[in-house]
Structure 1
Amino acid sequence: MSEPMPGPMRLRSAALSLITLLGGVSLAVIPAATVSISSRLFSVEEQGFLAVAVLVATFAGQITFAVVVESRLSSAATERRVVFPLWLAAVSVLTALVIAVTPPNAVVLGIGLPVLIAALEVGRGVSVAERLDRREIVASIAVGSGALIGVLAGFAEQTWALVPLVLGIAVATCVRCMPVMHRASRPEPAVMGWVIADTAITGVIYPLLNTMILAFLGSADAVLFTSIATVSGLLAIPLNFMRLRLLKEHSTLDIVVSAGSVLAAVVVLLVLELSGVFGFIFGSAWDESATLAPLLLACAWRAASLATTLPFAALRRMGEVRLLTGLRAAVSVLTFALAAAGLAAQSLSAVFVGLLLAELLSAVVYEAARRRRVARVSRERAA
């Protein structure tokens, strides 16, 4: 654990943490901006396809993040340093250019999204973990500006609305792959395998769940589920920020900043919902449904991750990758079962209730495992 910092340094560190945390909004707005623009450019059936494609892209981003970033941060025997791979940056920029020069096409966009989201996930993860705050601010502005211009162009029904969105991602990718003074640590092969398995088991639930929603409830509900999950993803920004920082070392300051940001994000989402902004952004899929209850439940589900992240990060720092993979597999089965039970009730609110219950139970499971691990270490030291 790092030594306590003087007061002014703590304030500066907190300010930089908050600015970098807020920059995470740029990552969260990409799925929302994609859904919003798609609602103006494509048919309902194509929107349903893209709603699933967005979650598949998020899953692909999580897997890439696990390989490039999290496996290194979880390799306790190394220096745990990470960098943005140049190959990923090159593929991302090329993909953005292809989408930009191609007339609006749902299939091309669906294929390109996993690459773009993966670059965003890895780029931001590297910046947060290595505290590259200044370049992350520039990259976040590029992504956010591109998304804003694209959404506004979509409102005006301009066929080029996707161009600023993907070009903003390309600019941010170029900024994030600038040279750094350190080299990436070589991850421990066993650790990488467990981390990837862990991420795959957990992340596959949501695209699979939305595929089932598309099949059983139709395109409109699939789009609405993606929209609500994306909007509530604003809460995931401080949670992911806290998780990345805690994988490096425990920090009460980052926990407080993140928890306060979660509360503020909930307030912002409620104001936007009650003022009708989301209906304006997402169009008929949002306007024609009762969204307040599922949105509140989705926010509660996201916020419950606060209780899950603390013991999870502690176990990762302890090197308990095998244990965590087993626990995550069990929790994932439980999550899918409870969410599917909600789906059987033909209600998105019930689906989010299932996800919330699963998250709360996960927190209990992880905390129990952490306490057993700490108790075992204490007994070994006493012996």
Structure 2
Amino acid sequence: MQVIRRSDVGTASSSLAMIVAGAIVAVVPATAQAIASRAYTTGEQAHIAIALGVGVLLSGVSSAAVIEARLADPTIAHKSYIPWWSTAAGVLSGILLLFAPVTSWAVVFAMPLAMASLQMGRLHAISDHRWRGELATAAVLGVGCLSAFLVGTAGVSWAFLILAAAIIAAVAIRAIGVPSHPAEHVDPRKALWVASETAIVASMPLILNSIVLGAISAEAAVGFRLILTVLGILQPVLGYMRTRLLRATSVRMVLFLSTLTMLTLIAVIVADLLGLFAVIFSTSWAYVGFVPLVLACIWKALSVPATLPFTRMRREGRVTAVFWARAASNVIYLAMGATAAHTAGTLESVFAALIVAEAATMVLFTVLARSVRQAPAGSGVDEDAA
């Protein structure tokens, strides 16, 4: 009988703590949308939906250039930090949210900054194993988001002030005792490849949301963003798996997190059947529909297998190969999504197209990873691995 070591239990516990903390961080944009659904018009909500897409792009690119690029270089992977400008962006977002009761544009400009700052701090915590600090951050954000939501159910936009205070407090907690400048700088070329690859990936939801807004309707754009926001509860699991696999491979962790991914998606579907999201997002959830949500869950589930070959190539330093693979994947995504939006004109067709695009991406990365590994020395396939 296999003996379970105390270190294994400790590792699993800290991993679960980081995932739970990340789930609460992911609730921040959901809280913003929940308040907006009661305080602003559908048109204003559509602007906020696009802004959240910008936030995903901004947070992905900035974190990739600062944190993930270091993980692609084993010599400095352990020397992580949180840039001073990231902390400043988080504080500025809180200040901007103070004007939310006056205009929805305050939310439009504040949320991308908040999302970028929170994501930077989270990736630093994962790479540096700061799970205790993350629990403290999660507690502050959890109380703040819950309080803001409860106040927001009355339809008052000053609920954003509570969210602002929580964001500023969370950013401050993460900044305590953490370097604000790098001990060693990452290779600019490697950082550029990693950031560019992430920009390609992170820009796709924003582009698709804009296409849905233009080709279908503002209601569909809000519904599309709401689905992505709800599935954001899965991001801590996928993000944690991705970041840890960028450091080292672990079969146990992959199996554990893959199972957790499936359970989370099932929980999302059950929550919708019970009417939970309709309570949270009020009448705006009527723009979603059950079938698009289920299709979106299938799409997210298919993203798990591609993580393994992707992280292996990135871990080996093959950033150029990963970049071109992502570029090809995005061409497929854009072609499929745009065609579905302009022809069928429904969220069901858009998410069905994304399922096909993700399946193609999975095949692409698997084939590429095998070809790169089998390439003979000097073939030029792995010239960026150094």
Comparing 73-82 and 250-259, the one that deviates more: 73-82
Contact preservation (8 Å) 2:92, 2:110: no
One-letter amino acid matched to 1:325: F
One-letter amino acid matched to 1:53: A
Aligned counterpart, 1:111: 109
Q: How far apart in 1 are the matches of 2:203 and 2:99?
A: 31
Q: How far apart in 2 are the matches of 1:297 and 1:281?
A: 21
Aligned counterpart, 1:217: 216
Match of 2:143 among 138, 142, 145: 145
Contact preservation (8 Å) 2:49, 2:221: yes
Identical-residue share of aligned pairs (%): 30
Structure 1 gap ranges (5+)? none
Q: How far apart in 2 are the matches of 1:184 and 1:107?
A: 38
Match of 2:166 among 145, 165, 168: 168
Q: How far apart in 2 are the matches of 1:124 and 1:79?
A: 16
Q: How far apart in 1 are the matches of 2:263 and 2:199?
A: 31
Structure 2 gap ranges (5+)? 380-386
Using a 3 Å threshold, how does the CA distance of structure 1 residues 378 and 254 change in structure 2: closer, same or farther?
farther
Comparing 33-42 and 231-240, the one that deviates more: 231-240
Q: Deviations over 1:185-214 (max 9, x none)?
A: 421111011111111222212111111211
Give the Å deviation of 1:175.
1.1
> SS at the partner of 2:375?
helix
Using a 3 Å threshold, how does the CA distance of structure 1 residues 337 and 111 change in structure 2: closer, same or farther?
same
Aligned counterpart, 1:319: 317
Contact preservation (8 Å) 1:232, 1:295: no
Give the Å deviation of 1:220.
1.0
Comparing 83-92 and 271-280, the one that deviates more: 83-92
Contact preservation (8 Å) 1:85, 1:177: no
Q: How far apart in 1 are the matches of 2:100 and 2:52?
A: 19
Q: Superposed, which structure 2 residues align to 1:67-78 within 5 Å?
A: 67-78=65-76
Match of 2:20 among 16, 22, 42: 22
Aligned counterpart, 1:123: 121
Q: How far apart in 1 are the matches of 2:99 and 2:41?
A: 21
Aligned counterpart, 2:41: 43
Using a 3 Å threshold, how does the CA distance of structure 1 residues 192 and 209 change in structure 2: closer, same or farther?
same
One-letter amino acid matched to 1:207: L
Give the Å deviation of 1:98.
3.3
Contact preservation (8 Å) 1:236, 1:302: no
Contact preservation (8 Å) 1:60, 1:114: yes
Give the Å deviation of 1:273.
0.3
Q: How far apart in 1 are the matches of 2:213 and 2:320?
A: 34
Give the Å deviation of 1:145.
1.8
Q: How many residues align?
A: 375
Q: Deviations over 1:11-45 (max 9, x none)?
A: 11111101111111122212211111101111111
Aligned counterpart, 1:203: 202
One-letter amino acid matched to 1:214: L
Aligned counterpart, 2:55: 57
Q: How far apart in 2 are the matches of 1:56 and 1:16?
A: 31
Comparing 80-89 and 300-309, the one that deviates more: 80-89
Q: Superposed, which structure 2 residues align to 1:1-383 within 5 Å?
A: 7-100=5-98, 103-180=101-178, 184-287=183-286, 289=287, 291-344=289-342, 345-376=344-375
Q: Deviations over 1:44-80 (max 9, x none)?
A: 1111111111111111111111121111111244344
RMSD of aligned Cα (Å): 2.0
Using a 3 Å threshold, how does the CA distance of structure 1 residues 102 and 207 change in structure 2: closer, same or farther?
closer
One-letter amino acid matched to 1:255: V
Contact preservation (8 Å) 1:41, 1:104: no
> SS at the partner of 2:177?
coil
